[in-house]
Amino acid sequence: MKVMLSGGGTGGHIYPAIAVINEIKRHDPDAEFLYVGAKNGLEQDIVKRENIPFESLHITGFKRKLSFENVKTITRFLRGVSKSKKLIKRFKPDVIIGTGGYVCGPVVYAGAKLGVPTIIHEQNSIPGLTNKFLSRYVDRVAVSFKAAEAFFPKHKVILTGNPRASEVLNGDAVKGKKEAGLSSDKKTVLIFGGSRGARPINDAVVGMLQAFANRKYQVLYITGNVHYENVMEKVKQAGSPSNVFIKPFIHNMPDLLAGTDLVVSRAGATTIAELTALGVPSILIPSPYVTNNHQEKNAEALAKNGASIIIKENDLNGQKLLKEIDSILENEQNWKKMHEASISQGMPDAAARVRKLMNELANK
Ligand SMILES: CC(=O)N[C@H]1[C@@H](OP(=O)(O)OP(=O)(O)OC[C@H]2O[C@@H](n3ccc(=O)[nH]c3=O)[C@H](O)[C@@H]2O)O[C@H](CO)[C@@H](O)[C@@H]1O
């Protein structure tokens, strides 16, 4: 089978596509792939690391208010469609899947116009602009939350879950902790702000690191690549205890998550799919800067059944965060309840469901 994939900008759109590739490879080692990403997205680095053939488009998103930038965006979209058509004619995919982000707009649109079977995968409970636009042209829309079904044509939509959920299932906890320099026998809280890091979370965390000094658990704090230097400057001044480890980015999340007892993070949909697949309890700080406040909706679904505690960004400070982390990691019963609530929301077979859908379309 030949599969073309597109999705990008941030990890939340890229890792589900890579999970689809890995699931197909497990069943069909001869399958061929072509990934089309944005020139400046995280996918340049992440996809190339996986040795997946990669092509890029120069693409930007629409600004909400009227501006000349939007004219440029339309021009780039049209150029993107034209380049995508060339790539499709050369690669001849049996099926094309888009996993969100601006870049999959022209790729999936071009595929649909050329009559190639097309699918979009929506990670969030409220869809993004690109997927809403594409839903008119594609053959199928795979969603991760039941709540998202209502936004798409009824005859196209199917609940699959997020394929990345399946990918984190068989992580090696010992390896993950070792690679990150962590102690193998201590409970671990992982703090990060989505795939790019989040300044408000960094601001709250940097000032409180000393408070972790007398805790029995250890802390792995991921700053996000672009924030790392700045954070380390501040850490140099404020100091950091020996049970706190700081990294810019972790490439091997599946192994790390296998050894993680609690996650503090934004409420990105792919992160949530990972946490619920494994039953990791979480403290979620939804980003208020995303379309239709979708992260808050993502987080509410988990908080409602007790899998997560939500802290609104406005209420976030070091003291509060420490109190909530302690209330979970220092209270076994609390942790267990959250773990069970979390795992009850997981869809660990999502990758198989997406693969089945792709096979059906490709063989039509
Ligand atoms: C600001 C923004 O637009 N955020 C969106 C983006 O978030 P973002 O890209 O942050 O997405 P998620 O939190 O859903 O996923 C992050 C992914 O990156 C991985 N990871 C993270 C840190 C790290 O060091 N290493 C690593 O591999 C995580 O394990 C996860 O697989 O896409 C999500 C999925 O559509 C949306 O729900 C978010 O609202």
Q: Whose CA is nearest to atom 2 of ligand 1?
A: 290
Q: Whose CA is nearest to atom 3 of ligand 1?
A: 290
| Per-residue confidence (pLDDT) for residue 68, from 0 to 100 | 76
Distance 274 CA to ligand 1 centre (A): 10
- Distance between first and last Cα of the chain: 13
ipTM summary value: 0.97
| Residue 11 beta carbon below 6 angstroms from any ligand 1 atom | yes
| Per-residue confidence (pLDDT) for residue 175, from 0 to 100 | 98
Mean pLDDT across the chain:
95
- Which residue from 141, 43, 146 is spatially nearest to 101, judged by alpha carbons? 43
215 is in which domain, residue-wise?
170-345
pLDDT at 64 over 80: no
| Per-residue confidence (pLDDT) for residue 160, from 0 to 100 | 98
Distance 43 CA to ligand 1 centre (A): 12
Do residues 312 and 260 both lie within one domain? yes
pLDDT in tens, 199-232: 999 999 998 999 999 999 999 999 999 999 999 9
Do residues 193 and 330 both lie within one domain? yes
- Enumerate residues 6+ apart whose C-beta is below 8 A from 302: 267, 272, 275, 276, 282, 284, 308, 341, 342, 345
Look at the alpha carbons of 290, 303, 157, 16 in this order and tell me if their dihedral is positive or negative. positive
At 232, phi and psi to the nearest 5? -65, -30
pLDDT at 328 over 90: yes
Do residues 211 and 278 both lie within one domain? yes
Distance 146 CA to ligand 1 centre (A): 20
Average pLDDT over residues 36-46: 92
| Residue 106 beta carbon below 6 angstroms from any ligand 1 atom | no
Do residues 22 and 102 both lie within one domain? yes
| Residue 87 beta carbon below 6 angstroms from any ligand 1 atom | no
CA dihedral 107, 111, 114, 118 (to 10 degrees): -160
Q: The tokens of 18 are what? A: 């890579």
Average pLDDT over residues 189-205: 97
Do residues 180 and 124 both lie within one domain? no
- Which residue from 272, 126, 80, 255 is spatially nearest to 182, judged by alpha carbons? 255
Instruction: Give the sheet arrangement for strand 140-143, strand by strand.
Output: 54-57, 32-38, 2-6, 95-98, 118-122, 140-143, 157-159
CB 189 within 8 A of CB 329: yes
Average pLDDT over residues 12-33: 97
pLDDT at 344 over 80: yes
> Residue 67 sits in a domain of what CATH number?
3.40.50.2000
CA dihedral 65, 71, 76, 79 (to 10 degrees): 140
| Residue 12 beta carbon below 6 angstroms from any ligand 1 atom | yes
**How far is Cα 153 from Cα 268, in angstroms, rounded to an integer?**
24
| Residue 287 beta carbon below 6 angstroms from any ligand 1 atom | yes
Average pLDDT over residues 232-257: 95
Write out the H or E segment, with its range, that includes residue 308. Answer: strand 308-310
Do residues 145 and 174 both lie within one domain? no
pLDDT at 238 over 90: no
**From 164, 167, 169, 195, mutation site for ligand 1 pocket: most ligand atoms within 8 A of C-beta:** 195
Q: Whose CA is nearest to atom 37 of ligand 1?
A: 268
Do residues 102 and 21 both lie within one domain? yes
At 351, phi and psi to the nearest 5? -65, -40
| Per-residue confidence (pLDDT) for residue 167, from 0 to 100 | 95
List beta partners, residue 262: 189
**How far is Cα 3 from Cα 94, in angstroms, rounded to an integer?**
6
- Which residue from 83, 126, 163, 123 is spatially nearest to 358, judged by alpha carbons? 163
Distance 197 CA to ligand 1 centre (A): 9
Number of domains in the chain: 2
Indicate the pLDDT class of residue 322, thresholds 50, 70 and 90. very high
pLDDT at 66 over 80: no
| Per-residue confidence (pLDDT) for residue 26, from 0 to 100 | 96
Do residues 97 and 190 both lie within one domain? no
Ligand 1 atom closest to the CA of 267, numbered from 1:
13
| Residue 130 beta carbon below 6 angstroms from any ligand 1 atom | no
Indicate the pLDDT class of residue 59, thresholds 50, 70 and 90. confident
pTM listed for this prediction: 0.95
Do residues 118 and 146 both lie within one domain? yes
- Which residue from 203, 301, 319, 318 is spatially nearest to 310, judged by alpha carbons? 301
Do residues 11 and 52 both lie within one domain? yes
**How far is Cα 347 from Cα 356, in angstroms, rounded to an integer?**
15
Distance 114 CA to ligand 1 centre (A): 31
Do residues 89 and 205 both lie within one domain? no
pLDDT in tens, 247-273: 999 999 999 999 999 999 999 999 999
Percentage of the chain surpassing pLDDT 70? 99
Do residues 105 and 226 both lie within one domain? no
